[in-house]
Structure 1
Amino acid sequence: MIDKLALRLSQYPARLKFALWVMLLCITTLTGIQLWQGGAKIQSDILAMLPKLKEDPLTETALARVEEQLSNTVYIALLAEDKSQAVTAANTLIESLSSDNRDAFVDIRSADLNQAQALNHFYFNHRFNLLTQAQASALSSGKLSELLRQAQLQLYNAFGYANSGLIANDPLLLYPDNLQALAPKQRLQVQQGILLGQWSPNETDESSKPAAKVAAIVMAKGLGSAFNPNTQELQMAVLQEAFETVESQNKQVAFLKAGALFHASAATKSAKSEVSTLGLASLIGVSLLVWLAFRSVMPLGIALLTITTSLLTAVVMTLLIFSELHLLTLVFGTSLIGIAIDYNFHFYCERLAQAEKSANEIIRKIFPAITLALLTSVLAYSGIGLAPFPGMQQVAVFCAAGLFGAYITLSLAYPLLASGPLPSGEKPLSMAAAYLTKLNSISRFLNYKIGGVLLALSVIISAFGLYQLTSDDDIRNLQQSPESVSDEEQQLRGILSGGTDNQFLLVRGETEEQLLQRLEILSPKLNNAVEKGLIGNAFSLSTYLPSRSKQEDNYQLQGLIYQQNLASIVENLGLDDSLISDLAEAYQKAKGSYIDAESFISSDAGKLFKPLWITPTPLQDQYGAIVLLGGITEIDKLESFFSKLSYVQLVDRVGEISGVMGQYRQLTLWLLAIAMAIAALIFSTRFGIKLAALVVAVPALSAVLTLSLLGLIGAPLTLFHALALILVFGIGVDYSLFFAESKHQSRGVMMAVFMSASSTILAFGLLAFSSTPAIHSFGLTLLLGIGFTFALSPFIQTFTRTFK
């Protein structure tokens, strides 16, 4: 069937095919322009590459709120010699970020003094329902005298917080302690509205260790996604300008930065740099390879045309399907240069080997091989597309479409464009023939005994390497931030007592009251986790939202004050007796007036905590509360620590995605085996089962050897290694196919395979030097796999006499 298609295609005039190719190229170009003008964009959000895990609606809501909160907030620590300098620098930074930069940041703040006033205003009206644990314990155990003595100390203390207005409404001065208990426990102090902490250097050499400094903390919420390149550029520019303003007033002030913005910005710069550097290096390398092999401008020009058409087709098709193009897709896609040029190599090497034939005849000769090669490559990329990563699905579409563009260019444009004469290529062809002759000599030299010994030795070494192979599915392998960015964040976390991690607790309840009671049960467990060092800190709404049951208990306990002992309390404190009736009346009026979640989160006091409270919706009928965690040390122990509380869920998106990566790593290896079996069946219709099995065995053995070598060098197996092995098969089987098709006329094929492998190894070898671990793993695996395939595939021509 493929032979008939090749014959039919060769019968059409070269000019007609070229016109059709030009028309397809114009349509592709116009489609790309239309898509770009219609809103297609470059995406740098690393989260866009992650699997879309199916979670219940409540968990999805909680994840969305936490990710929005963490991804858009930046934290800045200004390090100064003393508190005065730190406060001045922080105020300058806040003023600079606030002026004329509303498009970059909002909610720029340090300590929120208005928040404290709002809390006081909200809770004072509910003071009869509030008691600290110590106060409740004193009242329930009949130790009212202790509370009375503490109130007297405050009354006669010149520096106490008692005043006539407070005493008239709270004679035992219980409310101030309750208000103070609302403040989160942290090492930070507040001075003139600025949060201040202590920064200590990490150096262990005490002789050269710089002195500790005062750190002023400033926070700002970015507008737009921190992973959008344009947003990054704007926000980083605004921050840099603000830093320069601060430094112009005090050059001794230093900065520490933390937030997703800085990680995303570093990732974007790295990806852009690698796209330009690796792509340019690959293009230069391929161009040199073509020039050295053919010594003519025309093959080089057509090679560049093939690559350009391939990349254009890849970009447009990806934008058409996904409406965006991820930066990491472009990084992976630079390897397409080394693959798309393969068709060009095979065409020109065959023209050198058979100079008497026309371009149309050469295309007819190699058409079956390149068609089968395209099918197997697309099959391999389809395996990558089955991975649950939108970014990897983009890579699959990008590369498959690019190869199709190169295939169409060869089939339709080459008959006219590449019909010119070529300089003599006898020297490279002779070298290819000599290489094949040497391989034949080696094959004849390796008798059964020597071959058996070498085979046994190879099996033992490979088995040992496979035994040593481990796996690592940590999603953080997708991107590794520069050490400078991570180090600054860790230092700032130390100042903030651990900060907030991506993992959090989600507490569920069927009713609001049940949820609040469960939060109260959880609180001692959280304190215990802090004491055990499992976490550095925790933030729960239970501090601000006591359950109705607890409020009722507190109200009843305060009845000991306002119903049974109010007169004696007033007398002991030396207060006016007229207060007794007013206080008793106020206590009675407060009965049944409870703090509830809706009134709290809709007030000025609770607006900051609104994202942590989840109410039922038509999609889910439960209440939920998010408990933020910071300074997590051992996530596995933490999960088991809360496992007995069935209503508490440790949400660890990183761990869940890593688990999915492990599952798909195993699935990908199974897909590889299935793809090889399918390819063998397809090839058997043309070559017969024996030669088809041999064609597939070459990339299969290369994959095994690659895995073995990864084990020997101690590189853990990841999903990206597995995905790369699919490409080792998809690309490497092409070499076997061309040797199987060539029968005994192999020197042109050998030259083409050498050039093809060289360009592919160049492209993927450069990817192995990427600073992104995922790309490095991908490139290293292909570098090894294609190298093994190149070394093994020529031996197929030794067996073409036997297998028909």
Structure 2
Amino acid sequence: MIDRLASLLGQCSAKLKFILWIGFISIIVLIGISLWQSGAKVQSDILAMLPNIQEDPLTEVALSRVEDQLANSLYLGFVSNNKNQAISAAKSAMAELNLNGKGTFIDIKSADMTQVESLNDYYFSHRFQLLTQQQADSLKNGELEQMIDQAEQQLYNAFSYATSTLIAKDPLLLYPQNLQALAPKQALEVQQGILIAKLVNQVSSKVPSQVPTQDSSPKFVAIVMAKGLGSAFNPKVQEQQIAVLKQAFDKLMLEDKEIEILKAGALFHAVAATISAKNEVTRLGLASLIGVSLLVWLAFRSFMPLAIALLTISSSMLVAIVMTLLIFSELHLLTLVFGTSLIGIAIDYSFHFYCERLNKPKATANQVTQGIFPAISLALITSVLAYSAIGLAPFPGMQQVAIFCASGLVSAYITIILAYPLLASGKLPKGDQRLKFADSYLQKINDLLSHLNAKGWSLLLITSLLISGLGITMLTADDDIRNLQQSPPEILEQESTLRQLLSGGTDNQFLLVRGDSEQALLQNLQALAPRLNSAVEKALIGNAFSLNNYLPSHKQQADNYRLQGEIYRDKLDTIISRLGLNDSLAPALQQAYQSADGEYIDAASFLNSKAGQVFAPLWIEPSKTQAQYGAIVLLGGITDIDQLKRHFADLSYVQLIDKVGDISLVMGKYRQLTLILLALAMLVAAIIFSTRFNIKLACCVIAVPALSAIFTLAILGFSGSSLTLFHALALILVFGIGVDYSLFFAESKQQSRGVMMAVFMSATSTILAFGLLAFSSTPAIHYFGLTLLIGISFTFMLSPFIQTFTRIFK
């Protein structure tokens, strides 16, 4: 089949092929222009690379609510030895952000002074349905006398919150204690409307690398919070927000140079990731391009092969970008980082063409193209097969990498077949010296093999596999999604400091409480409260925020109302007398109590009020897609997620949502699936090759990348590296690229010196490209590049042995 296609192509003239290639590139350019004009874009949002995990509708809504609340929030801490200086800095920054940050930031605040007033306005009319747990227990246990004594002490306390108006409506002063119970417990104080925290042994944020000082005197941190408009992972949004913040900080530094600034939030992680990715695209791509160009020049000593090689690379990158945009409507920045490796792979076909021309100087470009057609066709099939396996990963970003690189290789293949017969028809300088070097290398390998008999081969193979097996047994798995990106230490340190000041802050993990009705949900929240308190006591979490305090169930409110009946129905006269109040207050108090019967707090009235609007995202109503009610319980300062899961495991109505953990589990499953796909890809390739070669030689061709993968895993095991999905994906490419080398040797029919030179150049360019990826600061890219660097090195060393087997199995 392949030979027949080669024969058909051989009948077409070089000019006709070139016209077809020009037509192909023209169509791609027109499609690219159309896509760009219609809004195609480059995406830098790291979240866009994450797996799409299917959850039930209620969980999906809860995840969306929490991500909306946390994704674009940022926290600023203004640190000073003087409390007033810290407060002044916070106020100045807030004023500057409000002035220049319109359309960029909203909800710029520190302490919300109006929230307590709003809560008081809403809850006071429901005071007869409210009791703290201590108050309820006292009334249940008949401890009314003690409650009267406590109220009497408050009446005569000079610093009491009691007023004549409050006493007239709440003689035992129960309501203020209920209002205080609503406030979240935190170690922060409020002064002049600013949240203030104390910090001991502060590490200067001005110099991130500074060694922590052991200064025992505390520093004061004034905390400001804001919410950015737009995604923090959008490059344009990042530029706008960072510009506004920089302007505010610069002005602040002019006023007070001693102020230190702590920053936390997704924005700062996203900016670091964007800068790192852009730098790596430029640096790695340029270095790879220079390296490949130098390699071509040294090998062929002619400008034309270099120019045509650059044309091959350029057309491949063009097609890769356009096809990715056509399928996904956007191109992820990390796809470009991975895609820089395409430069080292796309050029392989060009190397094989020119090395074959050096080896057969009398053959025309058209004849050389026809001669290498079977090998590069099989190579393309296996490479695309490998990239297709990568495309099965759950990461949209990795699916983009698969499309990007596969389409780029197809373009390189088309360019070789259609454009080279005309463009590469010029004469080349003689390459005898390079070909002799390749021939000498092969001869040394043959000499080495000649000293090994069947027993020697068996012993060498068994020893290698035993050593590799030992290395593989030392491998451990690490599927943590955090391997996708590692932020700079100074960002992590500042965020950690601010989280500690905010009593642990709010984590991405949270509890989702379910109920078949509003009241069932509220009762479940009430039942969950003691378990949350226990988690805090056991230091499993630093804090928790639940709607339970704000939305007691009707049953709880009815119980509280009934318990207060002892006060307002049975003992009111005694209470008024003991407290020395006017007897005329009794009728109005009794009337107010009776009128409140059945006037319950409900979710709708509270969440639609000014007091409850801020909590509305934590409450989920039924919809067309799901029938249950849901409530989100925010958690902060989680210390052990696994133990926390066990802590709530017996509560059927509670679900601990851990998206990071769920994605990590998916990564683990796909890591295992990828390794299975690798084995299947090798089996499919062996079947395909058996149509071209006999079955023994086909198995030998596959054995080269298979052994390379085994040896690579062993090296990773011995080096103490943990196996991740990205290692497994790279092994797919070790197969896809490495099998090309053994294929060309199998096709060479003992005339291998041209193939050896081409394989050397191909391996060098690929190692150069992926070796550079191994130096990436992004862990995922580093793992990917390192695995390919090791794997391709092994395939280069093993592939020449195929020439021996071609003699044995011919």
**TM-score of the two chains, using structure 2 as the length reference:** 0.98
Report the CA distance between 1:353 and its aligned residue: 0.7
* Corresponding position of 1:402: 408
Contact between 2:700 and 2:805, CA under 8 Å: does it hold in 1?
A: no
Deviations 1:287-331 (Å, cap 9, x if unpaired)? 000000001110000111100000000000000000011111111
The answer to whether structure 1 residue 290 and structure 2 residue 283 are counterparts is: no
- What is the distance in 1 between the residues matched to 2:150 and 2:86? 37
For residue 255 of structure 2, the aligned residue among 227, 249, 258 is 249
- What is the distance in 2 between the residues matched to 1:137 and 1:564? 18
* Corresponding position of 1:377: 383
* Corresponding position of 1:780: 786
- What is the distance in 2 between the residues matched to 1:230 and 1:164? 57
For residue 575 of structure 1, the aligned residue among 563, 569, 581 is 581
Name the amino acid aligned to 1:653. Answer: K
Report the CA distance between 1:387 and its aligned residue: 0.9
The answer to whether structure 1 residue 98 and structure 2 residue 98 are counterparts is: yes
Stretch deviating more after TM superposition (346-355 or 130-139): 130-139
- What is the distance in 1 between the residues matched to 2:82 and 2:178? 32
Report the CA distance between 1:454 and its aligned residue: 2.7
Name the amino acid aligned to 2:261. Answer: F
Stretch deviating more after TM superposition (143-152 or 317-326): 143-152
Deviations 1:168-194 (Å, cap 9, x if unpaired)? 111111111110111000001111111
For residue 523 of structure 1, the aligned residue among 512, 523, 529 is 529
The answer to whether structure 1 residue 28 and structure 2 residue 28 are counterparts is: yes
Q: Map of 1:292-307 to 2, 5 A cutoff?
A: 292-307=298-313
SS of equivalent residue, structure 2 residue 242? helix
Contact between 2:79 and 2:86, CA under 8 Å: does it hold in 1?
A: yes
Report the CA distance between 1:740 and its aligned residue: 0.5
Report the CA distance between 1:208 and its aligned residue: 4.5
The answer to whether structure 1 residue 108 and structure 2 residue 114 are counterparts is: no
The answer to whether structure 1 residue 187 and structure 2 residue 183 are counterparts is: no
For residue 275 of structure 1, the aligned residue among 272, 281, 291 is 281
- What is the distance in 1 between the residues matched to 2:441 and 2:643? 59
- What is the distance in 2 between the residues matched to 1:346 and 1:573? 101
For residue 562 of structure 1, the aligned residue among 540, 565, 568 is 568
Name the amino acid aligned to 1:24. Answer: F
* Corresponding position of 2:511: 505
* Corresponding position of 2:760: 754
The answer to whether structure 1 residue 693 and structure 2 residue 699 are counterparts is: yes
Name the amino acid aligned to 2:257. Answer: K
Q: Map of 1:454-603 to 2, 5 A cutoff?
A: 454-603=460-609
- What is the distance in 2 between the residues matched to 1:431 and 1:238? 61
Stretch deviating more after TM superposition (144-153 or 522-531): 144-153
Report the CA distance between 1:457 and its aligned residue: 2.4
- What is the distance in 2 between the residues matched to 1:38 and 1:539? 45
The answer to whether structure 1 residue 684 and structure 2 residue 690 are counterparts is: yes
* Corresponding position of 1:153: 153
Deviations 1:438-467 (Å, cap 9, x if unpaired)? 000000012344434333321221111011
- What is the distance in 2 between the residues matched to 1:46 and 1:756? 32
Contact between 2:387 and 2:732, CA under 8 Å: does it hold in 1?
A: yes
- What is the distance in 2 between the residues matched to 1:205 and 1:41? 42
Deviations 1:333-391 (Å, cap 9, x if unpaired)? 00000000001100000011111111000000001111110000000000001111111
* Corresponding position of 1:605: 611
- What is the distance in 2 between the residues matched to 1:267 and 1:634? 27
The answer to whether structure 1 residue 324 and structure 2 residue 330 are counterparts is: yes
- What is the distance in 1 between the residues matched to 2:639 and 2:807? 64
Name the amino acid aligned to 1:632. Answer: I
* Corresponding position of 1:72: 72
Deviations 1:662-716 (Å, cap 9, x if unpaired)? 1111111111111111111111111111111111111111111111111111111
Name the amino acid aligned to 1:31. Answer: I
Deviations 1:373-422 (Å, cap 9, x if unpaired)? 00000000000011111111000000000001111111111111111111
- What is the distance in 2 between the residues matched to 1:155 and 1:532? 38
Name the amino acid aligned to 2:530. Answer: P
- What is the distance in 1 between the residues matched to 2:764 and 2:34? 37
- Residues 26, 458 of structure 1: CA spacing in aligned structure 2 closer, same or farther, 3 A cutoff? same
Name the amino acid aligned to 1:488. Answer: Q
Name the amino acid aligned to 1:217. Answer: I
* Corresponding position of 2:174: 174
Runs of at least 4 residues off by over 4 Å:
202-208
Report the CA distance between 1:211 and its aligned residue: 3.3
Structure 1: give runs of 5+ residues left out of the alignment.
none
> C-alpha root-mean-square deviation of aligned residues, in Å?
1.3
- What is the distance in 2 between the residues matched to 1:457 and 1:179? 75
- What is the distance in 1 between the residues matched to 2:529 and 2:202? 33
* Corresponding position of 1:122: 122
The answer to whether structure 1 residue 263 and structure 2 residue 269 are counterparts is: yes
Name the amino acid aligned to 1:45. Answer: D
* Corresponding position of 1:15: 15
Report the CA distance between 1:202 and its aligned residue: 5.9
Report the CA distance between 1:163 and its aligned residue: 1.0
Deviations 1:475-523 (Å, cap 9, x if unpaired)? 1111111111111110001100100111111110011111111111111
Stretch deviating more after TM superposition (449-458 or 696-705): 449-458
- What is the distance in 2 between the residues matched to 1:585 and 1:302? 95
- What is the distance in 1 between the residues matched to 2:183 and 2:693? 78
Q: Map of 1:340-489 to 2, 5 A cutoff?
A: 340-489=346-495
- What is the distance in 1 between the residues matched to 2:488 and 2:320? 30
Report the CA distance between 1:205 and its aligned residue: 9.5
Stretch deviating more after TM superposition (115-124 or 8-17): 8-17
- What is the distance in 2 between the residues matched to 1:84 and 1:466? 60
- What is the distance in 1 between the residues matched to 2:796 and 2:435? 17
**TM-score of the two chains, using structure 1 as the length reference:** 0.99
For residue 792 of structure 1, the aligned residue among 789, 794, 798 is 798
- What is the distance in 2 between the residues matched to 1:385 and 1:630? 36
SS of equivalent residue, structure 2 residue 634? strand
- Residues 207, 790 of structure 1: CA spacing in aligned structure 2 closer, same or farther, 3 A cutoff? closer
* Corresponding position of 1:5: 5
* Corresponding position of 2:206: none
- Residues 238, 693 of structure 1: CA spacing in aligned structure 2 closer, same or farther, 3 A cutoff? same
Report the CA distance between 1:75 and its aligned residue: 0.8
- What is the distance in 1 between the residues matched to 2:642 and 2:188? 30
Report the CA distance between 1:10 and its aligned residue: 2.0
- What is the distance in 1 between the residues matched to 2:241 and 2:120? 35
SS of equivalent residue, structure 2 residue 158? coil
Name the amino acid aligned to 1:279. Answer: G
- What is the distance in 2 between the residues matched to 1:447 and 1:484? 60
Structure 2: give runs of 5+ residues left out of the alignment.
204-209
Report the CA distance between 1:206 and its aligned residue: 9.6
Deviations 1:544-573 (Å, cap 9, x if unpaired)? 111111111111111111111111211222
- What is the distance in 2 between the residues matched to 1:740 and 1:334? 29
Report the CA distance between 1:201 and its aligned residue: 2.4
- What is the distance in 1 between the residues matched to 2:545 and 2:360? 76
Determine what percentage of the aligned residue pairs are the same residue.
66
- What is the distance in 2 between the residues matched to 1:628 and 1:419? 69
- What is the distance in 2 between the residues matched to 1:227 and 1:739? 47
Report the CA distance between 1:45 and its aligned residue: 1.3
- What is the distance in 1 between the residues matched to 2:272 and 2:363? 54
- What is the distance in 1 between the residues matched to 2:4 and 2:14? 18
- What is the distance in 2 between the residues matched to 1:574 and 1:456? 99
- What is the distance in 1 between the residues matched to 2:212 and 2:100? 44
Contact between 2:44 and 2:334, CA under 8 Å: does it hold in 1?
A: yes
- What is the distance in 2 between the residues matched to 1:351 and 1:559? 102
